[in-house]
Amino acid sequence: MCFLFESFKGWKKYCEEKNQSLPETVIQYEIEQKNSSRELIYSGLLQAYGVMKDAVITGLKEDMTSRSGMINNGAKKVFNHPLSVLSPEFQKLISRALSAKEVNSCMGRVVAAPTAGASGILPGTMVTLQEIHQLSDEKIVEGLLVGAGIALIIEEKASLAGAVGGCQAETGSAAAMAAGAIVYCLGGTIDQVFNAVAITIQCMLGLVCDPVAGLVEVPCVVRNASAAAIAFSSAQIALANVSAVIPVDECVEAMGEIGASMESRYKETAMGGLAATLTGQEISKKVLIQDIEILPDETLPD
């Protein structure tokens, strides 16, 4: 019987009892629950990682202007800017996360990881991690397996959907997946991996989903960049064994609790937050179709 990804505590216990690595338990889960095979899982994830790498390149090469005009080649501007605020690596990380997410906003091909709204975070972090540490694609795939396990638990205990849990559920979960994958790929222990997840969730808690004009553009694109930065920040903290204090399972619970109590105008409805600002409303008026037949309110049939 495989592990069913119901808690991080249970995941660690299972790994220790069965003497299995984190990615191995995810492989066993997929084989047992989805009648898959090791080969199919590896080839599928290699393909997904290939699409992520392509999205990073596409966004930095091709024109990325969204239909609304709100997204306008931001990744390229960041990538080519002469001044690096921290280091060239940081600049690349930010531009890559922007790049893959801009591809999503501009109707290009991406991997929803875990959702389309968060589709820049794993590409930005994994491509940059691989480059800096000279990791193989196989190692990155193991990291993605760890990320998938993390997301399975968050889905079970909280949510991955902005309409259910706000932005924390989408970009927050993606950042947690990335942080766990980074620590795993750099040889961290199970405790360090889970600690990175806990720290990341703590940093992303409470983020609302308030997209301007309801489009997956503002603030989604820049939040993918900041989430990528937070994933690295958390990994750096976790690898040094600085404790999150609140155990990871409890952090996930907090995320679920916050999501449940969030008002619906902060959950993808474009009724609150940035969407409800003066400028947000103006943009919404310009972007949305006005030539629309509005049916009269339904009256009950006689």
Point out which residues bind another protein (CB under 8 A): 4, 26, 29-30, 33-34, 36, 41, 44-45, 47-48, 51, 67-68, 103-117, 119, 122, 144-145, 147-148, 151-152, 155, 160-161, 163, 177, 213-217, 287-298
Which residue, 5 or 237, has its beta carbon nearer to another protein? 5
From 89, 83, 252, select the one nearest 160 (Cα to Cα). 252
Report the run of H or E that residue 22 belongs to, with start and end: helix 22-34
Question: Two tokens at 294?
Answer: 């509005």
Contact 244, 202 (CB under 8 A): yes
Which residue(s) pair with 65 in the sheet?
A: 72
139 or 237, CB closer to another protein? 139
Q: Which two tokens stand for residue 290?
A: 């006005």
CB of 207 to another protein, least distance (A): 18
Q: Which is nearer to another protein, 70 or 186 (CB)?
A: 70
Of 73, 75, 91, whose CA–CA distance to 83 is shortest?
A: 91
Q: Which residue has the tokens 């503002």?
A: 218
- C-alpha of 49 from chain center: 14
Least distance in angstroms from the C-beta of 245 to another protein = 27
Concatenated DSSP letters of 207-224: --B--GGG-S-TTHHHHH
40: which 2 tokens? 């199919």
If the CB atoms of residues 19 and 290 are measured against another protein, the closer one turns out to be 290
Minimum Å gap between C-beta 269 and another protein is 10
Minimum separation from the CB atom of position 163 to another protein (A): 7
Q: Which is nearer to another protein, 185 or 239 (CB)?
A: 185
Radius of gyration of the chain from its Cα atoms, rounded to whole angstroms? 20
The tally of CA atoms less than 13 A away on the side-chain side of residue 23 is: 18
Q: How far apart are CB 105 and another protein at their closest, in Å?
A: 5
**Least distance from C-beta 234 to another protein, angstroms?**
19
Task: Identify which of residues 145 and 167 has a Cβ nearer to another protein in the complex.
Answer: 145
Q: What are phi and psi of 65, to 5 degrees?
A: -115, 125
